[in-house]
Structure 1
Amino acid sequence: MISQYQESLLLPARMFQSVSMNTTYEDVLEHIESGIMLFDEEGVLVFVNKQMYAFLELARHSLLGCTMTHLLANIQLSRLKRKQVLRAYREMVRKNKPTYEFIDEYGRYWRATLRSGEQMKGSYLFILKEISDYKLIEQTAYQNDSLAMLGKLSASIAHEIRNPLTAIRGFIQLLHPHLHQLGKEEYAKIILAEIDRANDIIHEFLTSSKPSVPQVSMIPVSALLKEVVLLTESEALMKGCQINLHPLQGDMIISGDAKQMKQVVLNMIRNAMEAITERSDDYIGKIEVGARREGAEVRIFISDNGKGMDLCTLDRLFNPFFTTKENGTGLGLSVSDRIIKNHGGCISVSSRVNEGTRFVISLPLIQ
């Protein structure tokens, strides 16, 4: 039996051990990768780790002892962060959803999780974790599935549709003189244009599912851009756009398929034209094209002052079938992305609504 005197001697040791264990737990929570925020049963914030402070972009220990209302009213909290916190609070606390996913202003994916109820004894534990890597894997898997489905679909429809279209086009051309005599020549032009558009769509399906093997050659970047600008200048003028080709410094040569590279740059310039024509206000449309050397790579840029894109559109921009155009197939940028990756490069894009968009194609240079 432990006497009352011995019990009194053990009590400070137990208290010290309890304090030491709490400190250890806090140290562990402080250094985990997820952001932690704990509110007690009265709604008072009792613990925040450094990862959560970093996400909120607030000074250390500036929130302890406050409530959710005080947190949202903090003058140091940016407007965007306040919106994100408020939406997460509404989704998880008001609507009783255990998780909430969102994208921040830097394009990063986050998952917020709420732990509450009896297991937390009235407290609310918010856990925040960045899931950008998981989303990238998920999108890649989805894209691969889409491309596999696209391959099967395009292979089955190509021969079934192209042969009748070729026959129809031939008969329309034979009937063209008769339609001209009847004063219905415009009908023939419309039919031929629509047949050609259908053929173009089929061609895009085939290209995206089974891109041709690159015919590798040395391509001077200056010659590539000059040729593409020359091809698109008249079309741009008809749409009220100006194309400015920036002078290139030095000889920059890449290795690849000239036709495929031309296809990529043409696609981006035409996208820029459409973005300019879709902008409602009265202004002069400008497309800037150029290239610069960055170490062992060349950066080819195509920028415009068109309608721009929001974050949600940017996030899905290179997905097959995704398009914001009324008559688009959603394959142009997807195919362009695959071509550039096959050439050992990458495409990056930045955009602001009503300010414009900038595409940058990075490719290895031949030294």
Structure 2
Amino acid sequence: MISQYQESLLLSARTFQSGLLDATYEDVLENIDSGIILFDELGVISFVNKQMYGMLELQRHSLVGCTMAHLLSHIQLNRFKKRQLLSSYREMIYKGKPNYEFVDEFGRYWRVSLSSGETMKGYYLFTVKEISDYKLIEQTAYQNDNLAMLGKLSASIAHEIRNPLTAIRGFIQLLRPHLHQLGKDEYARIILAEIDRANDIIHEFLMSSKPSVPQVGMISVSALLKEAVLLTESEALMKGCQIHLHPLQGDMAISVDVKQMKQVILNMIRNAMEAITERSDDYTGTIEIGARREGAEVRIFISDNGKGMDICTLDRLFSPFFTTKENGTGLGLSVSDRIVKNHGGCISVSSRVNEGTRFVISLPLIQ
């Protein structure tokens, strides 16, 4: 069975063949987004629109009156197009397939459709249409389904790993006094530190694959930033950094999951510390933290004068599992970005190599 669309194309093509096609029909066929080629009962091309001869990179007068054999031997038709024409002809004429898909030399996807049979009275109508956009959507949906399945499986495995780690940690703590007597307390300390690091990695992974729903509460921006600075000040001093908290102008309150938002800010401060320690030249590391009102939003900024990042790193910064750190998981900023978006905000970043990096967290204010 042929569609009404294809039947109208055939009718228009036949009318054109008989010389009775008016300007309206001709405009429709010439400007349609599909390539059209019509073979008569003798296998001779009787009509071809400009989309089709444009695809074939040939002139209309060199196509009309040709058979498929003549077309395949056309001196101006390149080898790749000849191969695709032959494949389409074989699959659809000899094997009876109504549709055939292929990829051209530029990586674009095309679909060829054939209408023939008794209703066509011996004619063969081929329509060719690019379907690259449809294929991209289809592949993206398929990939998302696979990632969702993998995420659920990985989260389940990660959750199960935490149970034996908890047991191992408990037994190491019980054995620690005996190790201390043997002068091996350092071993216990290293084991506990590595178990804690493994638990942190699993926690970040679980947050990335299935972040918890925000437990929203109101907090002032000033209180949030002061608490974050208090938690990181001593660590910054040990790494030779100075944290400068800019005084905030006016009262600004946000409705957020305080624990999650604190995690975001702490993660960015610690990233700033690492960027400062990784810079090779002799200088004083400084981390600037502050916030300002912009309309109905607050802009929280965290900037440093560390080693900075190039454009390639910035492009992939929030991608899961991407990291430039030797022992990093690549999940910290990905999770932070997800948390901020769940609160109706966004994160922007600017950076220059050997000059520093500036993160800006935008969040809606409570009016």
TM-score by length of 1: 0.61
Measured in 2, the distance between the counterparts of 1:170 and 1:207 equals 24
TM-score by length of 2: 0.61
RMSD: 2.7
Amino acid at match of 1:360: V
Amino acid at match of 2:351: S
1:160-239 equivalence runs, <5 A: 161-239=161-239
Going from structure 1 to structure 2, the CA distance change for 1:145 and 1:237 (only over 3 Å counts) comes to: farther
Measured in 2, the distance between the counterparts of 1:267 and 1:285 equals 17
Measured in 2, the distance between the counterparts of 1:192 and 1:296 equals 46
Measured in 1, the distance between the counterparts of 2:194 and 2:159 equals 17
How big is the shift at 1:307? 0.3
- Unaligned stretches of 5+ residues in structure 2: 1-104, 107-135
Amino acid at match of 2:158: I
Query: Who is 2:19 aligned against?
Result: none
Going from structure 1 to structure 2, the CA distance change for 1:146 and 1:265 (only over 3 Å counts) comes to: farther
How big is the shift at 1:252? 0.5
1:298 aligned counterpart, secondary structure: strand
Amino acid at match of 1:210: K
1:355 equivalent to 2:347? Answer: no
How big is the shift at 1:256? 1.2
1:167 aligned counterpart, secondary structure: helix
Query: Who is 1:149 aligned against?
Result: 150
Measured in 1, the distance between the counterparts of 2:281 and 2:141 equals 37
How big is the shift at 1:141? 9.7
How big is the shift at 1:168? 1.3
How big is the shift at 1:208? 1.0
Q: Would the aligned equivalents of 2:344 and 2:364 in 1 still touch at CA under 8 Å?
A: yes
Tell me the alpha carbon deviations over residues 252-290 of structure 1, each in whole angstroms, 9 at most, x when there is no partner: 011110111100000000000000001111110000000
Query: Who is 1:342 aligned against?
Result: 342
2:275 aligned counterpart, secondary structure: helix
1:302 aligned counterpart, secondary structure: strand
Amino acid at match of 1:149: L
Query: Who is 1:329 aligned against?
Result: 329
How big is the shift at 1:139? 9.8
Going from structure 1 to structure 2, the CA distance change for 1:140 and 1:198 (only over 3 Å counts) comes to: farther
1:314-325 equivalence runs, <5 A: 314-325=314-325
Q: Would the aligned equivalents of 2:158 and 2:206 in 1 still touch at CA under 8 Å?
A: no
1:322 aligned counterpart, secondary structure: coil
How big is the shift at 1:295? 0.7
Aligned pair count reads 237
Tell me the alpha carbon deviations over residues 173-212 of structure 1, each in whole angstroms, 9 at most, x when there is no partner: 1111111111111111001111111111111111111111
Larger radius of gyration: 2
Q: Would the aligned equivalents of 1:143 and 1:320 in 2 still touch at CA under 8 Å?
A: no
Tell me the alpha carbon deviations over residues 20-48 of structure 1, each in whole angstroms, 9 at most, x when there is no partner: xxxxxxxxxxxxxxxxxxxxxxxxxxxxx
Measured in 2, the distance between the counterparts of 1:308 and 1:256 equals 29
